[in-house]
Amino acid sequence: MASTATLLSKPSRLWAITIGAGIALSPIHNQYLTHLASNANGETLFFLPAFGYLLLIMGAGLFLLNNWHRVREVGWGDRRIVGCLFFIVLAISASGAAYTGLEARFAPMGMGLALFALYLCGRVLGKDMFLPLAVGAVIASLGVIAHQIVYPGVITGGFVFEQNYDIVVGYVLLGTALYIHKWQWVLAGLALVAILLTGSPEGLFALGVVGVAVLWRRDWGKKLAIVLAPVAVIVVLGLVSGYGPTLYGYAGKIIGGETASPYSGEGVNAIQYRLQVIEDAMTHIKPLGEGYNLTDFGRSANVHNVPLVLVQQLGYLGILAGMAWLFVSVYCLVKTKWKYAWVAILALSVFDHFIWTQLGVVWWVLVGVSTAPDNIKSDLLFKKYFQK
């Protein structure tokens, strides 16, 4: 007969996987899938990100409604963390004033409360919430590898994320770092190959930072050698075939300060453009910001840095909210055992905004999971022993 603990854990895992499925699906905007779900009039009948947000918002709300006693048992967490999160929610809510229409103005407040609800869910449900994201990371990684086989030398987000070669890096890297399991190192090997095959400059930076963390923590062994072996083979094949330099031609031009687009070979200097966007946004800060949003970037050029995009979207309150976001992230890096996850979060936040926008829900859940009292023993990947 199953133990009481096992029976009680099954409903929790179901809640965790349901909400986690919403987290994993919400960033995926695939034009092919959208086209399949559109009728003859061009009306989209099923939109995957919307379905993902429905799952995570409704799931979090229903879970807390039926399990509030468990939240009280676990506690809300460190007052400094809770205070920072509440302030960010306040700034998100106030930014609704930038929109027109009653519904649009109150929508940021609703989303802010949903994000805080995800934090509370993370404290109760734990790392099981990241299982669907790990599955998504495997599928996205295989999609990148397959796309590179079919279209060699093309910078890519794979068959899942298509041309979004930046967000696929964050999706795969976080899906791997958050899968705390004895076979995590295998997923790390697949993710490493996939990220290198995207051709993403941000991917190289993030891998470099995580690599330094691996060396700093002396997290090496036979498993690391096994993971690096296929990478060495791919690098050699890329150089011999000539596809490697083509794949990283855009990254090379960025480093060299040349003007280029990742697809056409024409465009503007990426570094100068992003610096100009930052300068324009920071010298024209609106009191309540341009309005909190996750995916609508057509109103103005989006700053590609997380603390600064908070200022852009949330205005004067966003200055303090950005500092609060940074404090929480660094606090969790230093004080919790989820080192690689928080190293990845901070690395991915330097040159892009998706940790606040498309993948923003992951940050809130991770704060809850990593600061919860019932936690992991270690997140080391490659050492001989496994202490999780």
Q: What is the pLDDT of residues 128-163, one digit of tens each?
A: 999 999 999 999 999 999 999 999 999 999 999 988
Residue-wise pLDDT tens digits, 196-230: 999 999 999 999 999 999 999 999 999 999 999 99
- pLDDT confidence bin for 374, thresholds 50/70/90: confident
Comparison of pLDDT for 327 and 378, the residue scoring more: 327
- What is the per-residue pLDDT for 384? 59
- pLDDT confidence bin for 44, thresholds 50/70/90: low
- Percent of the chain past pLDDT 70, that is, above it, reads 89
Q: Describe the crossing of helices 79-94 and 102-125 by its angle, rounded to 10 degrees.
A: 160
pLDDT at 261 over 80: no
- What is the per-residue pLDDT for 253? 73
Considering the chain, what is the average pLDDT of its residues? Answer: 89
- What is the per-residue pLDDT for 215? 95
Mean pLDDT of 93-118: 93
Residue-wise pLDDT tens digits, 286-321: 998 999 988 776 666 789 999 999 999 999 999 999
Mean pLDDT of 82-101: 95
3-state secondary structure of 333: helix
pLDDT at 266 over 70: no
pLDDT at 6 over 90: no
Residue 374 near residue 357 (C-beta atoms within 8 A): no
Which of 99-103, 332-336, 384-388 has the largest mean confidence?
332-336
3-state secondary structure of 352: coil
Structure tokens, 242:
């000539």
- pLDDT confidence bin for 4, thresholds 50/70/90: very low
Structure tokens, 352:
């892009």
State the pTM of this model: 0.92
pLDDT at 386 over 70: no
Distance CA 44, CA 30 (A): 12
Q: Where are the alpha helices (DSSP H) in the chain?
A: 4-25, 31-36, 48-66, 68-74, 79-94, 102-125, 131-150, 158-161, 167-177, 184-198, 201-216, 222-241, 243-247, 249-255, 270-283, 306-314, 316-335, 339-348, 360-371
- DSSP codes joined into one string, 75-95: ----HHHHHHHHHHHHHHHHG
Comparison of pLDDT for 277 and 223, the residue scoring more: 223
pLDDT at 166 over 80: yes
* Residues with Cβ within 8 Å of residue 87, at least 6 apart in sequence: 317, 320, 321, 324
pLDDT at 5 over 50: no
- What is the per-residue pLDDT for 96? 93
Distance CA 109, CA 104 (A): 10
